Structure 1
Amino acid sequence: MSEQPTADHPHPWRALVGRSTDDSPALTTGSGTRTGRGPADGPISWRTLHDDATRVALALADVGVTAGDRVGVVLPTGRELAACLFAIGRIGAVAVLADPRLGTRQLDRALRRAGLDRLIGTPAAARAARVRKWAPKRYVAGTPGGKPFSTAQRRLLGLRGSYPELVAHGEELLAGGASLPAEPEPGADALVVFHATGSTRPSGVVYSHATLAAMLDAARRVLPFGPDRGVIAAFAPAALLALGAGAPAVIPAAGRSGRLDAGELAAAARRLPNAVLSLTPAQVASVLESADALGDDDRRALLTIGSVAVGGAPVTVDELARLSNLLGTRDVHAPYGLAGALPLTDITLDELIEAESTRAAGSGTCVGRPLPGVEIAIAPHDPDAAPARSADDLATEAGVSGEVWGSAPHIRDRYLLPAAEQARAQMSAGWHRTGDTGHVDAAGRLWLTGRRGSEITPPGSVLEPVAIELAARGVRGVAKACAVGIGPRGRQVLAVAVEPTPAARGRGASRGASRGRPAGRPALAGPALASLVTRAVGDVTDVAVGAVVVLDPIPVDVRYGSQVQREAVSAAIESLVTGPGRAGRRGRTTLKR
């Protein structure tokens, strides 16, 4: 269902060429102020980005990279990643993008399956690529301190060259009259993106040039970014979308685990006034936590932000409303989408407030109506039955609950899978199975209730977790929450894990807090907190809460820092209530039914 690039969303390379003589900043990473944490390589102009990308493209073509070759890119979001992605796409090769934060094990699974011809990565990635045989030919970027590698280091890493050497070689080729090959066809593969959640196998989604162009168009329907309005990309990958549309981007310096200090956000707003802002729910929470320390100048800078999108996980009305007050704008969006289908729906703060006023108990969270060109359908399912496989199994009428499927011009073209698995996946051609569960209401709004497989099954009932988690997060002192079922299916006990806010952490939220329990180890919540969470959850379900557990931190994904890893939470709680080494066994627990 891909469409061809049009004047509304041209090939990203053309957007770069259109600003090739512009000396204004294209991408700025880090602020160089306050915490000093995160990337700090400063601004790169449009002219320099275009020149670097052109030279890397010429160099790669000269050393034998041709249309269709897969080039792995394992770099943090920044100037080198941006130039490499533009260059690889321009010569018709396929960039295979894997977040370095996935870790070696997940990267190994992903990149081995990708069948790479070459790899451009960090020194650590280059080292792993040689040991694990990810790619026969390797180039390194981000050399320590900007110093070139010694001959011994190059031999150890098995390097063919470095990013600066690719740029220099391209400069020589350009001086000699070399030119770029013809642009790739719109339907040709452009990008493979690997993502992973929890312990699952990394999933590779394949995009054509046309699909990427359509995704840019869809993103701009949520946030009005473009050449005249830039993006503050607290969620760093949004910077790549911005550059593809010819929009300048600033990536504010982030702290540990992706936390975003409100002062760093203000510094980014000063660098790029009247911008749109993209951030995750975890970053919203950290901005709100640190806002009290802002001075008058910082608060005035934040008021220049015009529009906001918060994506990656459910976010509460209270959090969005507080963010809206801090930034002085009501143009706050909470779009819904996922890797391979981003975005699908959108909802504004005011629309969310209206939806919440009519929300039935247990309805989950409203993520709005489908964007233009997007179709949402529901695959009804029994938790114990096999999932739907084709469009013939889908329902579009209101009130049907099940797995959410989406169809749109910007849906990924396919998955990167072995032939047998690819054939099964293509049974749903034109549709993307999200894995999320929910329903569409009579007003055409999509409500999410959980993930397929995350259902909690106490005797005589089936619970979805999202409504329970939102209720628990509404309790003062709770930053994150995760609801899981403990015990055998059909006889499970409802348990709620909570992560305390910094203020509550200081007060000691669990019974074990005073004994210095290590971070990440579960502990039963203290009586006061347990009572508040139990009472809040009681407003959305009649099923009794068997235990409230403090888990600090609650494990989340590496990409958004917001998507709770339910399997890890469940294992942690089971280890607490059944004893070490017994998690997952179908024995008795100490939880209340």
Structure 2
Amino acid sequence: MPLPNFYHHIHRTLLQQAEQVLLVWPGGATAGLATAYTGRDLGQRIAAYQQLLRKHNTRAGQPVLLGLPVGAELICGLLAVMSLGAVPVLPPAGASAVGVLGLLRRNGVGAALVPNKSARRYNWLLRGLGVRLLGAPQHLGTAELLPPQAVPATQPALVSHSSGSTGQAKAIRRSHAVLTAQHEVLKQVFPPWPGQRDFPLFPNVLLHNLAVGALSVLPDVPWGQLANLQPARLVQQLQTTQAETLTGNVFYFAALCGYLEQHHPTPLPHVRALGVGGSPVPESLLQRLRSCFAGAAVYVIYGSSEAEPIAVRLAEAPTNPRSGYCVGPVQAGLSCRLQPLGVVELPNGTQHQVGEVCVQGAHVAAEPGTWLHTGDFGYLDAQGLLWLTGRKGNEAICQGVQHYQVEHVLCSLPGMERAAARATPTGFDVYYQGTVSDAAVRTALAQHFPVGLCNRILRRQHLPVDSRHLSKILYHQLR
């Protein structure tokens, strides 16, 4: 039975809040020249893309590659594709030309939205592969904003890709039903309020914000170059826009805290809540966030693109890093099971069955009747809280300990920037980055873990991390 597609939530917002600013995009290299878009502005741009796509006979269910630069045009192009019942396909970050060609073949893409220069230069080449390159509309014109095309609930609403931290980036197909369910869960966990000003690090949060009518102020961070962020510019943005909620990853918030602690000791009173995720979140960072944003509720958000969120923890009281990373109770409405791996033992003698976290539910992008295997390992404690203790590819249990437990303890040491523990047949090799001394690392390991658990202790200038979050250790690249 055909159902309205996810875009209908956003279409309603665009009509009801036509004069309200819904999106503020930073000026990038031109500091201070941000661009504000009202519901009417966004609607006009979406209508222009709808007209372009219809002119080229874009059909419901047809995959369309989004090759536009990250910005408002990409968002409007994506929404236009979705509104017509077609399927937006986002390429992996940093994909090569060969990778994109493979993606076109695997997904049966027949059209791509690209910058006008690319369309003029390469259209002849890709036309031979059955792909039409459509340049962005140069004039908005007077096209009418079309209502959403009804689609089957199981049809993909969006195809994106994982970060590839444990191997190659994989395609994630979220149906309209799943995308709607994820949106509804986020509304329940983090209820929006009229006039809410959100400061999300990654543009994918925009779909949810547009669906609830919240203002999205995009941080002034070079897209795809997170390492080049300038915390001073971000703090200036926060002050100027009076943003109330922030979401981001460990690297991002650590950089913000570092700047605030050194140059801006006065808390930002307008910040009411922030959520941090994307990788395991150290207790030491949560403590810094509670200090830097004294008036804000701090949440740990655990999930994946396929299941957002899986668990949420309000970080009011610190937990013991030796026990792993506490991510809170599993989200209501999700079924969760642990595919058994073995047993970890805590210092108090408590033993817990550890397994791979597998989830199933309405807001999980998985085949009907199947479980999503997250690649994360952990246990549930007596209070029903989920603790993460390891990651696929490095999941071996050594003397009742998994690698996240070792890493989390080391992350609490002053001067520790990153730590990694790689399992070997005889224990763990420990790698670390930072100004902390070798002696301090050895002392911490001796205090918290069995004798002989850790073999080599190796300082490195930089530990390899994923390119998207700059927070997930790439264990297979440790040398």
Query: Does the CA-based 8 Å contact 2:231-2:255 persist in structure 1?
Result: yes
Structure 1 residue 52 displacement after superposition: 0.5
Q: Does the CA contact (< 8 Å) of 1:73 and 1:96 recur in 2?
A: yes
* 2:204 matches 1:237: yes
Decide whether the 8 Å contact of 2:166 with 2:393 is kept in 1: no
Q: Tell me, yes or no, if structure 1 residue 74 matches structure 2 residue 67.
A: yes
1:440 maps to 2:380 = yes
| Cα shift at 1:214 | 1.2
Matched with 2:442 is: 534
Tell me which residue corresponds to 1:304: 270
Give the corresponding residue for 2:311.
Answer: 345
Unmatched 5+ residue regions in structure 2?
A: 344-350
> Normalising by the residue count of structure 2, what TM-score does the alignment of the two structures yield?
0.86
Residues 1:402 and 2:355 are matched in the alignment: yes
Distance 1:497 1:121, change over 3 A: farther
- 2:155 and 2:176 in contact (8 A); partners too: yes
Q: After TM superposition, give the deviation of residue 263 of structure 1 in Å.
A: 2.4
Query: Secondary structure, in 3 states, of the residue corresponding to 1:335?
Result: strand
Structure 2 residue aligned with 1:14: 12
- Identity among equivalent positions (%) equals 23
In structure 2, what residue type is equivalent to 1:375? S
Question: What is the deviation of 1:232?
Answer: 0.1
CA contact (8 A) 2:339 2:355 kept: yes
d(CA) in 1 for partners of 2:149 and 2:64?
Answer: 19
Q: Distance in 2 between matches of 1:295 and 1:31?
A: 23
CA contact (8 A) 2:313 2:327 kept: yes
Partner of 1:560: 469
The structure in which a higher percent of residues are strand is 2
Answer whether contact 2:5 2:148 (CA < 8 A) is retained: no
Question: 2:112 — aligned with what?
Answer: 119
Deviation at 1:12, TM superposition (A): 2.9
- SS of 1:92's equivalent in the other structure is coil
Task: Tell me which residue corresponds to 1:520.
Answer: none
Q: Which amino acid aligns with 1:473?
A: C
- The amino acid that maps onto 1:12 is I
Q: Give the deviation of 1:100 after TM superposition.
A: 3.4
Correspondence for 2:167 = 200
Cα shift readout 1:549-574 (whole Å, capped 9, x = no counterpart) = 233332222222211111112xx2xx
1:117-154, Cα deviation, whole Å (9 max, x unpaired): 11124589877998789974344xxxxxxxxxxxxxxx
Please, which moves more after superposition, 88-97 or 217-226?
A: 217-226
Match of 1:101, SS? Answer: coil
* 1:91 and 1:184 in contact (8 A); partners too: no
Give, in whole Å, the separation in 1 of the partners of 2:100 and 2:34: 25
One-letter identity of the residue aligned with 2:162: H
Distance 2:374 2:430 in 1: 25
Q: CA deviation at 1:193?
A: 1.3
Q: Could you tell me which amino acid in structure 2 is paired with residue 564 of structure 1?
A: I
Contact 1:77–1:237 under 8 Å retained in 2: no
For structure 1, list consecutive stretches of 5 or more residues without a partner in the other structure: 140-160, 384-397, 415-425, 505-527, 573-593
Q: How far off its partner does 1:38 sit?
A: 9.1
Q: Establish whether residue 62 from structure 1 lines up as the match of residue 55 from structure 2.
A: yes
Please show how residues 355-394 of structure 1 align to structure 2 within 5 Å: 356=319, 361=322, 363-381=323-341
Which deviates more, 82-91 or 249-258? 249-258
Contact 2:396–2:402 (CA under 8 A) maintained in structure 1: yes
- Distance (whole Å) between structure 1 residues aligned to residue 31 and residue 39 of structure 2: 22
3-state DSSP class of the match of 2:316? helix
CA distance in 2, matches of 1:562, 1:198: 10
Residues 95 and 190, structure 1, Cα contact 8 Å, conserved in 2 = yes
CA distance in 2: counterparts of 1:378 and 1:447, whole angstroms? 12
Q: Secondary structure at the match of 2:182?
A: helix
CA RMSD of aligned residues (A): 3.3
Task: Confirm whether residue 163 of structure 1 aligns to residue 136 of structure 2.
Answer: yes
Q: Is the 8 A contact 1:234 1:251 kept in 2?
A: yes
User: How much has 1:58 moved relative to structure 2?
Assistant: 2.3
2:347 corresponds in structure 1 to none
Q: Deviations over 1:35-90 (max 9, x none)?
A: x4899662222211111112211220221101000011134442011101110110
Partner of residue 449, structure 1: 389
The aligned residue for residue 21 of structure 2 is 25
Displacement of 1:209 after TM fit? 1.6
* CA displacement at 1:541 relative to structure 2: 2.3
1:411 to 344, 361, 364: 364
Question: Residue type of the partner of 2:135?
Answer: S
Structure 2 Cα separation of the partners of residues 196 and 96 of structure 1: 15
Number of aligned residue pairs: give it. 467
Paired position in structure 2 for 1:324: 290
Which AA in structure 2 matches 1:137? V
Secondary structure at 2:52 match in 1 = helix
1:84 to 66, 69, 77: 77
Mark the CA change 1:47 to 1:407 in structure 2 (over 3 Å): closer, same or farther. same
From 269, 275, 279, give the equivalent of 2:248. Answer: 279
Structure 2 Cα separation of the partners of residues 495 and 6 of structure 1: 50
- Quick check: which has more Rg, 1 or 2? 1
The letter for the 2-side match of 1:335 is I
One-letter identity of the residue aligned with 2:26: G
Check whether the contact 1:198–1:568 (CA below 8 A) recurs between aligned residues. no
Instruction: Compare 265-274 and 331-340 and name the one that shifted more.
Output: 265-274
Tell me the CA shift for residue 345 of structure 1: 0.5
